[in-house]
Amino acid sequence: MRKTVRALVLAGLMAATAVVAAAGPAQADTTICEQYGSTTIQGRYVVQNNRWGTSATQCINVTSTGFRLTQQQGSAPTNGAPLSYPSVFLGCHYTNCSPGSNLPMQVSRIRSASSSISYTYVGGTYNASYDIWLDPTPKTNGVNQMEIMIWFNRQGSIQPIGSAVGNTTIGGRSWQVWRGSNGANNVISYVAPSPITSWSFNVMDFVNDVRNRGAITTSWYLTSIQAGFEPWNGGVGLAVNNFSASVSG
């Protein structure tokens, strides 16, 4: 749920709309158009429409392994916030926790955190964003203090929050690193130089890089792992084809 320049009023909006509607397990071709509508898949993950930045219609088609954006009628200037963050997640987001989740979990207790993602891209202005959320407390509601964003793809004249601070290699891939704050939480973003359509990786590689930068400590808690899109305009047909995540401690 981020963008180029985040205003404090948007953080207030998110806090005011912290209650997320939850539904039962998704069947094939479940459609969600409600602003904060959500459902569960595989009895393990939550898929959310999360249309937090616009009143325009947005709908997603939920499958057994992910979702596809089927309607997107909004448009936002590229120097401001995106329209939404339709996504699938493991963990807790604004009191909506995935079934049987063992998150939040203290970083020092995590033995492994693996994930796999497969995207479909189309035209439009958007990023394919993989979010990792952390907080000093085992928080399950509201905004966490640290957001790690992994930009698998960037289309259009958009950029991460803050400014570029260098480059790094994580998981055998090169990333441009951005660092900043949106007024509600700190953000460190890792931008791929070219689109990545699928990848299996160790989530802790990114968490440890953020820790090495002094942004968190091992006493912090991993609260959720999320994958989806931040559209500014267009994007019908964008899809998370498959998502999996597992954290053990």
What would the DSSP string read from start to end of the chain?
---SS--HHHHHHHHHT------SBPPTTEEE-STT-EEEETTTEEEE----S-SS-EEEEE-SS-EEEEEE--B--TTS--S---EEEEEEETTEE-TT---SEEGGG-SEEEEEEEEE--SEEEEEEEEEEEESS---SS--SEEEEEEEEEESS---SSEEEEEEEETTEEEEEEEEE-SSSEEEEEE-SS---EEEEEHHHHHHHHHHTTS--TTSEEEEEEEEEEEEEE-TT-EEEEEEEEEE-
Catalytic residue among 81, 133, 230, 239: 230
Known active-site residue 34: no
Catalytic residue among 131, 135, 147, 209: 147
Active site residues: 147, 230
